[in-house]
């Protein structure tokens, strides 16, 4: 069952665009030279437009076009669009962004969207399903191969700042259980799978608070749906306990990795992430796809983003 998703991943992940090779020759006992080549490839590295904005000020002050220009200037391979940062969903705007990214030499390699299904009211869940299907169709219009998906959360924390102060943990809505929540989420995502398949957009369920706060929660949902069109967007900064064990648990199901850095101190918290160790986890899992930088620190992005790129370039590679 799980192998179906793994096989699909091997066929669909984007190969790295930066290549380094090292050759060695091993003579045989028969005085014949048998040449073997050990080839090292770098994972392609993208950057989320969130890295330049972080919800600081009106989105118009940090437009997607500006983010494309900066990503190309710093030498990224691709760019991940944050939907709420876009100023329109009309076709002329989408086509302009595609043209600009292509001309800059960047893949539009991810689509970071927001939705949630943890609602007792079926009407609200149906609205979120409809919204998610629309987002999948937007990804198709933009030519984006994978889209980030959230479970949503109980909403009992009040503000997001309060949720972060409680390390992402919040009480279950009175009168309901986590089992209710998981059923709502699984049933809702299952309704989105046919559109994802039709559009050729892999949904990546992120470890992004709510029922996706833990690797176990994400894995439960993905395994229950059991479709090659639902995999994992694996965020390095959203496991606040035992991050390396939890990353390892989901590594083989990843369609995209989002990598956080916190130069200047984090907006809500700071994690001292060991990226060489994370890179080794992903190599063992056979991951060859994109790593998307999400800078979430207080340093000037024009300083921290290129610093982060160097860290990720050195950490993520694989042998072929």
Q: Domains, the chain, ranges and CATH? A: 2-319 (3.20.20.150)
Identify the three-state secondary structure at position 37. strand
Q: Give me the helices (H) in 233-291, please.
A: 243-250, 275-284
- Over residues 215-237, the pLDDT tens digits come to 999 999 999 999 999 999 999 99
Order across the sheet with 18-27: list the strands. 18-27, 33-42, 317-319
Give the Cα separation of 201 and 230 in Å (integer). 9
Give the Cα separation of 289 and 208 in Å (integer). 20
**C-alpha distances in angstroms, 120 versus 141, 169, 307?**
32, 19, 44
pLDDT (0 to 100) of residue 36: 59
- Over residues 251-295, the pLDDT tens digits come to 999 999 999 999 999 999 999 999 999 999 999 999 999 999 999
Contacts of 103 (CB under 8 A, 6+ apart): none
Closest CA to 261 of 292, 283, 215, 290: 292
pLDDT (0 to 100) of residue 14: 39
The torsion angles phi and psi of 142, rounded to 5 degrees, stand at -85, -5
The two tokens of residue 62 are: 């940090």
The torsion angles phi and psi of 38, rounded to 5 degrees, stand at -105, 115
Closest CA to 114 of 238, 197, 208, 187: 208
Please check whether residue 194 is in contact with residue 229, taking contact to mean a CB–CB distance below 8 angstroms.
no
The torsion angles phi and psi of 278, rounded to 5 degrees, stand at -65, -40
Closest CA to 155 of 131, 181, 134: 181
Q: pTM, whole model, 2 decimals?
A: 0.88
Identify the three-state secondary structure at position 309. helix
pLDDT (0 to 100) of residue 13: 43
Q: Which long-range contacts (CB under 8 A, 24 or more apart) does 93-96 make?
A: 94/138, 94/141, 94/142, 96/65
pLDDT (0 to 100) of residue 159: 86
In angstroms, the first-to-last Cα distance of the chain is: 26
Q: Which parts of the chain register pLDDT below 70?
A: 1-36
């Amino acid at each position: 069952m799980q192998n179906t998703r793994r096989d699909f991943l091997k066929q669909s992940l984007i190969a790295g665009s930066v290549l380094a090779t090292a050759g060695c020759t091993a003579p045989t006992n028969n005085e014949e030279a048998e040449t073997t080549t050990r080839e090292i490839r770098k994972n392609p590295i993208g950057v989320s437009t969130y890295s330049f904005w972080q919800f600081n000020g009106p989105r118009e002050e940090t437009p997607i076009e500006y983010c494309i220009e900066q990503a190309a200037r710093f030498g990224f391979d691709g760019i991940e669009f944050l939907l709420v940062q876009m100023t329109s969903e009309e076709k002329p705007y989408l086509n302009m962004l595609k043209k600009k990214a292509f001309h800059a030499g960047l893949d539009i390699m991810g689509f970071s969207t927001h939705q949630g299904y943890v609602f007792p009211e079926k009407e609200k869940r149906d609205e979120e399903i409809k919204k998610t299907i629309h987002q999948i169709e937007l990804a198709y219009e933009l030519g984006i191969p994978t889209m980030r998906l959230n479970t949503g959360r109980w909403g009992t924390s009040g503000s997001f700042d309060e949720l972060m102060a409680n390390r992402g943990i919040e009480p279950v809505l009175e009168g309901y259980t986590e089992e209710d929540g998981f059923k709502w989420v699984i049933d809702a995502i299952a309704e989105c799978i046919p559109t994802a398949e039709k559009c050729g957009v892999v949904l990546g369920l992120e470890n992004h608070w709510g029922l996706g706060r833990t690797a176990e929660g994400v894995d439960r949902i993905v395994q229950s749906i059991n479709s090659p069109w639902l995999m994992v967007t694996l965020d390095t900064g959203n496991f606040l306990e035992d991050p390396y064990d939890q990353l390892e648990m989901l590594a083989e199901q990843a369609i995209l990795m989002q990598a956080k850095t916190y130069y200047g101190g984090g907006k809500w918290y700071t994690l001292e992430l060991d990226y060489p160790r994370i890179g080794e986890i992903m190599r063992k899992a056979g991951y060859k796809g994109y790593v998307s930088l999400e800078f979430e620190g207080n340093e000037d992005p024009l300083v921290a983003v290129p610093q982060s790129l160097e860290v990720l370039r050195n950490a993520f590679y694989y042998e072929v």
